[in-house]
Amino acid sequence: MAQNEDMSTETHLGSENHSDHPTPLTYFKVAMILSIITAIEVGIFYVEDLSYGIIPILTILSVMKFALVIMFYMHLRYDNRLFSTLFLTGLALAFLVVIALLALFQFFTPS
């Protein structure tokens, strides 16, 4: 297809968002944040005083990493919301099913 036809398609649809992607610098910054969070995770792991407090902290830190990767590296933040909907439907359902299964197997019930 001719180049100009592509262009016109894009201006009409305007949804692939070829323009406002982040720059390599942003990608690098995200990588730095990811590394720092991982370092904190591993560091916290050795703080014995935290005991069970480590669970919420590590959970929050991993969720942050997860969110950074899908928002920036998988550019969901800049992309059509339909992509997010498709993915988050599966993700949310998987999360709920895992939690329900664990509850049914008394994972959260102290023995």
Partner 1 sequence: MIQMKAKVIKGARILQEAVTTQHGTDHEYTTTGLNHRKLLMWAFLGSDCMFFGSLIATYMVYYGKSKVGPFPEDLFSIPITSVSTFVLLMSSMSMVLAYAAIRKGSLKGFRVWILSTALMGMTFLAFQVFEFYEFANHEVHFDCSQVGTGNLSAFEESFQNECIEGVTTVDGIHDSDGNNLTGLTPKTNLFGTTFFTLTGFHGAHVTLGVIWLLSLFFYSFRGGVTRERDLDVDLAALYWHFVDIVWIVIFTVVYLFGVFPGFPES
Partner 2 sequence: MTTSILSRPIHPTGLWAWLTTIDHKRIGILYGVTAFIMFLSGGIEAMYIRLQLAAPEQELVSPEIYSQLFTMHGTTMIFLAIMPMGAAFFNYLIPLQIGARDVAFPRLNAFSYWTFLGGAVMLKSSWFLGGAPNAGWFGYAPITSSAYNPGHGIDFWILSLQILGIASLAAAFNFIVTIINLRAPGMSLMRMPIFTWMTFVTSILLILAFPVITVALIEVMFDRFFGTNFFNVGAGGQPLLWQHLFWVFGHPEVYILILPALGIIAEVIPTFSKKPLFGYPVVVLSGVVIGFMGWMVWSHHMFTVGLGPVANSVFAVTTMAIAVPTGVKIFNYIATMWKGSISLTTSMLYAIGFIFLFVIGGLSGVMHSSAASDAQQQDTYFIVAHLHYVLFGGSIMALGSGIYYWFPKMTGRLMDEKLGKLNFLLVFIGMNVTFFPMHFLGLDGMPRRIYTYDSDMGWNLWNAVSSVGYLILALGVLILIVNIIWSVLSGEKADGDPWDARTLEWSMSSPPPEYNFEHIPIVHGIDPYWEQKREGLSTVPISGGSGDDDSHGIHLPQPSYWPLLASLGLFVSGYGLVYLSSSIGLVVSIIGAAITMVAVYAWSFEPVNDPDEGEGH
Q: Which residues bind partner 1 (CB under 8 A)?
A: 1, 5-6, 9-10, 12-16, 18, 21, 23-24, 27-28, 30-31, 34-35, 38, 41-42, 45, 48, 50-52, 54-55, 58-59, 61-62, 65-66, 69-70, 72-74, 80, 82-83, 86-91, 93-95, 97-98, 101-102, 105, 107
Report how far residue 71's alpha carbon sits from residue 65's, in angstroms, rounded to the nearest whole number.
Answer: 10
Report how far residue 24's alpha carbon sits from residue 18's, in angstroms, rounded to the nearest whole number.
Answer: 15
In this structure, what token pair is assigned to residue 86?
A: 């498709």
CB 37 within 8 A of CB 63: no
Which residue in the set 23, 43, 104, 111 belongs to the binding site for partner 2 (CB under 8 A)?
Answer: 104
Which residue in the set 7, 32, 36, 97 belongs to the binding site for partner 2 (CB under 8 A)?
Answer: 97
> Least CB distance from residue 101 to partner 2, whole Å?
6
Which residue in the set 48, 90, 110, 111 belongs to the binding site for partner 2 (CB under 8 A)?
Answer: 90
CB 30 within 8 A of CB 72: yes
Burial class (CB in 10 A: 0-12, 13-18, 19+), 54: middle
> Least CB distance from residue 80 to partner 2, whole Å?
11
Which residue in the set 56, 96, 99, 107 belongs to the binding site for partner 2 (CB under 8 A)?
Answer: 96
Measuring CA to CA, how many Å separate 64 from each of 32, 36, 88? 13, 11, 15
